[in-house]
Amino acid sequence: MTAIDPTAHLTAEQIEELGRELDAIRDEVIASRGEKDAAYIRKVISAQRKLEMASRGVLLFSFFPPAWLLGTAGLSVAKIMDNMEIGHNVLHGQWDWMRDPKIHSTTWEWDHVSPSDQWKHSHNELHHTYTNVIGKDNDLGYGIMRVDEDQKWHPFHLGQPLWNFINACFFEYGIAAYDLELGKNLHKRRRKNPEFRARAKDVGRKIRKQVLKDYVIHPLLSGPSFLTTLAATFTANLVRNIWSHSVIMCGHFPEGVQVFERRSIRNETRGQWYLRQMMGSANISGSKAMHFMTGNLSHQIEHHLFPDLPSNRYAEVAVKVRALFEKYELEYVTGPLPKQVFSAWRKVVRLSLPNKKPKAQKPGVKKPDHEQELVAA
């Protein structure tokens, strides 16, 4: 939706050739999946469960400040691992090829208030299909923010930095809300829809289960440490939510990431879909530990190109994908975590204000052949 299209120099033939080259990268990884990959995810799951159990054990003595700090830190990391490197990726079907019913997208349930089946619909089917398409992708601005200068500004948008901060603190509940598409279903007639009511009941049951586990059972098991364990669990959930929100914000919201109009995806080819994923995503650079703690969503570009590939393979894939960006003269948006978080939040604040002046389409800007065809259609 920017005046200058960063893909305007590409012909329709080049875009389809790019798609074929990306398909070849995917096929190579698919063909080489094996025991090493299976051992990786089993090791991660085992480590996460042991860390969570040990942390909850330490919190039995959380009335001692050192135990509270150690247990809270461990539980925070365990919850991040469960949501990011395990839950998110298992639910994408990245490990379904193992045929292990315990690590399969159809059976996995995560430490999250959003039921896995609803999350898979809103995330896998909608977000990954309509990445950064305004009005189609609920993950873009989480349905509560203005995400592009071409969107009409309303006074309500002045509050979007606050809405975004609140959403970060209670992110799992925000995800559950837009998995339900709560905004459009608040209308009385829609609320009576049997399908919506059934999904809302499922969310309610999952919330009760999570609250009972985190804020009743485990604190009660701590006996005299009830209140300190309660505070530790709340803190761990807060840390997990803010971390997850920050990582996901960095994946689609920093400066340089493109957003798209609905008309731009009419009759979209495989190559054009790939190109939209490339231009609508951003990466985070950093250490192996940082990549692991993001669930390898620090490789967001690669994840959006190949959402069903094992997450432990994204680092090797990234080298080849970046080479294609250079070959086709496209910008590979990446940067350290602090830079990307700052960029995303700066954009949130900037778009909460009205445009300084109306944006005019620059004359003489050449649209790529595929976009000319779409506009004509």
For residues 107 and 323, the answer to whether their CB atoms sit within 8 Å is no
Q: How far is 49 from 110, CA to CA, in rounded Å?
A: 12
336 - beta bridge partners? 285
Provide mean pLDDT across the span 117-146.
84
Asked if pLDDT for residue 375 goes beyond 60, the answer is no
Q: Name the band, by pLDDT with cuts 50, 70 and 90, for residue 374.
A: very low
Tens of pLDDT along 150-185?
A: 888 999 999 999 999 999 999 999 889 877 877 665
Which tokens hold the place of 281? 């995503």
Give the per-residue pLDDT at 188. 58
Tens of pLDDT along 21-37?
A: 999 999 999 999 999 99
Provide mean pLDDT across the span 214-227.
96
Give the per-residue pLDDT at 345. 96
Give the per-residue pLDDT at 64. 96
Least confident window among 71-80, 135-144, 210-219, 313-322: 135-144
Provide mean pLDDT across the span 39-55.
98
Any idea what the Cα angle at residue 216 is, between residues 212 and 221, rounded to 5°?
Answer: 125
pTM of the model: 0.89
Give the per-residue pLDDT at 1. 44
Tens of pLDDT along 268-290?
A: 999 999 999 999 999 999 999 99
Write down the mean pLDDT value for the chain: 90
The percent of residues in the chain predicted with pLDDT above 90, rounded, is 76
Provide mean pLDDT across the span 192-219.
92
Q: Name the band, by pLDDT with cuts 50, 70 and 90, for residue 360.
A: very low
Bigger pLDDT: 142 vs 228: 228
Give the per-residue pLDDT at 189. 62
Bigger pLDDT: 145 vs 351: 351
3-state secondary structure 222-255: CHHHHHHHHHHHHHHHHHHHHHHHHHHHHHHCCC
Q: Name the band, by pLDDT with cuts 50, 70 and 90, for residue 377.
A: very low
Provide mean pLDDT across the span 232-255.
96
Give the per-residue pLDDT at 92. 97
Q: Name the band, by pLDDT with cuts 50, 70 and 90, for residue 241.
A: very high
Provide mean pLDDT across the span 231-256.
96
Tens of pLDDT along 68-122?
A: 999 999 999 999 999 999 999 999 999 999 999 999 999 999 999 999 999 999 8
Tens of pLDDT along 284-322?
A: 999 999 999 999 999 999 999 999 999 999 999 999 999
